[in-house]
Structures are given as C-alpha cells and as structure tokens.
Structure 1
Amino acid sequence: MAVADVSLYFDVEGCGLTAQGDRMLARPTLLLLHGGPGADHSLFKPEFSLLADVAQVIYLDQRGSGRSDRGKPELWTWTRWADDVAAFCEALDIRTPVLVGSSSGGRVAVECAARHPGLVAGLVLESTLGVPTSLDESLEVFERRGGQVARDAAARHLGGDTSPSAAKAWADHGLPLYAGASDGDIASRMARALINDEVQAHFRAGGCGPAEVNAALATAVACPTLILAGEDDPVSPAPAARRLATLLTSSATQVEVLAGVGHGVFRQAPEKAFDAVRTFLRNLPTR
C-alpha cells in the first residue's frame, strides 16, 4: 500500500462485516503496531488469530521495518510513523480503528491518537514503550530476575554502551529476561522476524524523538485506553504503566498487570490478555 513516499506491507485476518439474520454488522478493526522499533508484524503471529472471530485484525509493517519500504532514515520517527498510520487508514477507508501497540508500537499508537484524535476509537498498549520510567526501576527488575550480572549488563546496554563486550553481556544476561517464565520459543520467533537493526540503532541514538510520553502528549489522547503490563517486565515496569494511566487524563483508562509475565504480554499470557481485549472492545462507545 502506497503511503506518502513509501509502500507499506500489511496482512489481514477476519472479516470487517459479519452476517446476522437480515443484517450485516460491522466488527471492530484492530490495527497492530509492532515493536522494536525495527521489528515486524510477525511478532504478533500466531496469537492474534484468536481475535479474528470478533474483529478484523490488520497487521502492519511500519516504514523501515519488515517487508515495508525503508524510506529515509531521518523519517524513522514517532511522528512520521503515527502519520503513516493515519494515511494508511485513509487510503484503505479504515474508520475508527483500535490501535494495538506493542512495546515501541505503543509509543507510535499514543502519538497517532494524540495527533489524529478523530481517527482512533481506542488504544490497547501492551508492554508499551514511553511510560515514565527510572533506570533504577528497570535495573531492579533485571536484578530481581537475573542477579547482579543481569543488572550490570542492562546498565551498560541501557546506558548507551555499544562496545562488543557490552553487546555480548546484554545478549547473554539481559535480553533473555525480556521474556517471562511462560514465554514460548522466543529464539524461533526472533529468527523468523525481519528486523532492521539500523532502525534500532537510530532509536538508541535518539533519532526517533523523545521516547517518553509527556503530559502534553498524553492529555491529547481522547479515546478509551487499555494498558497491559507484565509484573516481571524489566523494560516497561508495571509501576511505570500505572503512572502512564495517570497521565491519560482525557480518556477512560484501565490497567491490567499480569503476574509471571515479562516483556510481551500477548506472547506470554494470550488467553488472559485477549480476554481483557474482548471486554475492552465490548465496552467501547459506539461511534
């Protein structure tokens, strides 16, 4: 799909209209925004097939990621990604979607809802980036789950150390703790994903713009919001997710924290997470 200066890849599961007696009823559209940044939509599969019975599920690779065009690196920003979502919806006549943002995709979703308030019917923010978080808060979770060696590796990585020794320490002791005890074969999942490391490097260098959702941005979000967080998530800690909810003062916001879950609620606890999403969809105001 051509959007602005790039072509974006997308995939669809589930119908937008369903037959009920003598009527055709519209079902909600879930537009999925992957994390990374620089990963792809495959990280949502196969779990999100479980929601295709109640919604049309649209998987989107953001510019620079997956099977979409890379475009210009200077346009790998929260603002451009958010505006791409709005342009994508306009091109396909997708009206009032629910944006489902995972990790950095949550940051894109918030940006889109703030910049295009008439478009978005609701937000589902899962293990979302952008929550107000202190480094010590993240390091505490790394240490609780992996000891001092994990804390030290995370401190170097999150502090911007890009040396080979820091990268190895992170790969050995920090990155595995993204997962929770209930995560599946994360190695296979990552192996099949198309990941643009240049986008991740751009992000780490600050090129995407401020990662944190500030009060001005949060108060521009007018739609209902569901925040899903893992109790054992060292990247987007549960206390920070609760703080994000207090910033979203213009919207009806609820927070669900799942025990024994790390970074990636949908992967690690799909039944509980999707039960919460189904309830959220049922309670959305009619637009």
Structure 2
Amino acid sequence: MSTARAEIAAEELPVLATRNPLSRSAVLKALWRNKPGMAGVFILVGLVLFCYLGPLVYPTNQTDVDLLNAALAPGEGFPLGTDSNGFDVLGRLMQGGQVSLQIGLLAALFATTLGTIYGAVAGLVGGVVDGIMMRVVDVLLSIPFLFFVLIIAARFTATPLTLSLVIGGFSWLVAARLIRGEVLSLRVREFVSAARLMGASNRRLIFSHLIPNTFGVIIVNLTFQVADSIIVLAALGYLGFGLSYPVTDWGSQFSSGVTFLAADYWWLIYPVGVCIVLTVLALNLLGDALRDAIEHRSL
C-alpha cells in the first residue's frame, strides 16, 4: 500500500471504529428532557435576543453625554433610568451585553483551543515530555488567576480583543488537563493503534483522531469557560480595568453603579447585576445538561 493510500485509510479508520451507536439526536433528546438545562437555554436565548435585537426595537444614544438627563430614576422615557452621564441604562445594558458576550465567547474559544492542543500533545506523547508539560500547568495553576490577569490588563490598553486574549491566555489550564486525561484513555484504543500501523503521524493522530473523539468534553468545557470569562471580565471592570468610553461592558457598568450606592441609585446596580447572574447561571445550567447528555450518550 502506498503512503498516500495509507494516510487516507488512517483518516477514515476512526470514523468506522469510534462511531457511537447513538446518534446526535440522542444527545438533543437527553438535553430536551433535562429541565434545568432547557431553562438555561431559554434564558440564554432571551439574553442574546435582548442584547442584539433589543437595540433595533429600543434604539438609544450611547455615544453623546447628556448631563441634563443624568441620574434620572426609572420613569416615562427611561424605563430603567439614566446613569451619571445621561446614558439610557436599558440601552446601556444591551450594548454592554453585546461586548460581554463577545469577549466571553472569544476568550473561551481561545482558551479551549490552546488547552485542547496542549493537553492532546501531552497525553499522546507521554513520558518525560508529558511530565514537564503538566508541571508547567501545575505551576501556573498555583498562581492566583485574577492577580496574573490584573498585571497584564494594567500593562495593555483595554480593548475587547486584548481583554479576550488576556482572559483566554490564562484560562486554558483546566481545559489542558481535561483533554490530557481523555487522550490518555483514547491513545490505547484499537483505532489509534491501527492508525499508527497505517502510518499516521502524531499530528494526524491529534487532529484527525484524538481531538474529534474528545469533542463532547470540549463543548462542555467551552460552555463553562464562557461563564468563567464573563465573571472575570465583570471582576476586571469592577476593579477599574475594564473597557473605556464609549465602549462598555457589564462589569464596568456595575463598577460605575456601585459608586452611587450610597445615593440609593438602585437602577444603576440591580439590572446589570441581574444580567450577569442570569448569564452565568444559564451557561452553567447548559453546561451541566450537556455533560449529562454526553455521558448518557457514551454509555
């Protein structure tokens, strides 16, 4: 058999050898039967519609400061009042939600991708290389996450892209350990041994055979990573390392609202706090439901 035919055979082998008898619909059915998970889905969909379609229904000016209408209580014309700069709080929530969700998703994608590749390499190669790579992970995990992020965030100008890279760059450690554990169990399977005999390289084993078979773990981890990234972003904004005018996020809004806590400007605190809590809760409920559905599928 030629090298080209061997590579083709190695590519096709895991599809035949590892296909689960339960279809993708089984996962969706298991997810549908999970009431907390579906509640998380509906909450998350509602928040996405609120943030992205809301401005089309309720357009506001989030660029020009209006001090004449600053710090107005909720009432006619301003359903959730205005902040200290005269911005409509309801419109501000929508804009901040867009940025927070985008940063959370981008940071989670970056962290999951980096952690997946790192963990897959460590798990497949094994031996001394695996030991060194995992000790690096252990050392980084021993350093307080928020402390590291604050140092980097203080060094660079806060933009959605830089915050995504900073948060994602320190969030991949858990994903690496999870994927390494999965790869350690997969690398002794028959389809991996057969792929090696067919001439598959380590790179092909990782990207064509091992990572696709850890997809369930990757999706579940990604869901939790988005929630964690939104929490970290909110913490950075609360500590004053968030985005600057005219861009805003929920953490920055919450930080601004807390300064008016003594004045009882509740509309600057509670609405954004509810949005953060609901988003994180929905993502965690969805992540738990996906994990249960995938584990049920793999039985």
Do they fold alike, i.e. is TM over 0.5? no
Q: In which range does the TM-score fall when normalised by the shorter chain?
A: under 0.3
Greater share of strand residues, 1 or 2? Answer: 1
TM-score by length of 2: 0.25
TM-score (norm 1): 0.26
Give the number of the structure whose alpha-carbon radius of gyration is greater.
2
Taking CA–CA contacts closer than 8 Å with sequence separation of 6 or more, which of the two structures ends up with the larger relative contact order?
Answer: 2
